[in-house]
Amino acid sequence: MTRPVRPFQSRFGLLPVVRMDRAMQHRDAIDEIRAAWLTLRPEMDTTAVGTIGRVLRIARVVTLLSDEVLSGFGISRGEFDVLSAVRRSPEPLTSSDLARTLITSNASITKRMGQLERSGLAVRERSDSDRRVVYVRLTDAGVAKIDDAVPELLAFEASIASSLSNEQRDQFEEALRRMLGQLELRGSE
């Protein structure tokens, strides 16, 4: 059974809850990019651009819209990701753990942590057993902030995913899981 999803208001307007069938499909920016390359270099196979270009474009648009949703909580998507990772971890995390988990640089984590500390949402604490190790801990305000923000972000993400049927969503998720697994294998070699 599908849960009803409410439309989501953003600076791009109301994101309607719609199901797209073949009659509703249209050319998008990625189609235009492929067409331009076909004109310039007809011998090149741009098939992968259809997939990878859309994944990258979706990621960028979702990040921008997520920032908009989370601005109501006074945090960015990057700060949300740090708060969320620390909140759901059963073990204390270091900045390096966060960088690996979030697939970002240590410098990026340091910048996010500086902002979270200034906002009173997280602190860095030295390990009692090894003073070289610094753990990230959420303050009570940080726990409250992430606990308030998660339901809103989930509702936003559900509004985006609602444009696909349950079957399409399952197939899309499985295809992405397969692709991500292959990429992560490459990265570990």
- Cβ atoms of residues 79 and 115 within 8 Å: yes
Each residue of 140-170: pLDDT tens digit? 999 999 999 999 999 999 999 999 999 999 9
Mean pLDDT in residue range 21-38: 81
Cβ-proximal residues to 153 (8 Å cutoff; 6+ apart), any chain: 66, 69, 70, 80
Please tell me the predicted confidence (pLDDT) of residue 187: 73
Q: For residue 175, what is the enclosing H or E element?
A: helix 166-188
How does the average pLDDT of the chain come out, rounded? Answer: 88
Residue 116 has pLDDT above 50, yes or no: yes
**Dist CA 83 CA 91 (whole Å):** 14
**Dist CA 156 CA 10 (whole Å):** 10
Range with the poorest average pLDDT among 13-22, 37-46, 49-58, 78-87: 13-22
Cβ-proximal residues to 150 (8 Å cutoff; 6+ apart), any chain: 84
Q: Is 62 exposed, middle or buried (0-12, 13-18, 19+ CB in 10 A)?
A: middle
**Dist CA 50 CA 31 (whole Å):** 7
Please tell me the predicted confidence (pLDDT) of residue 25: 65
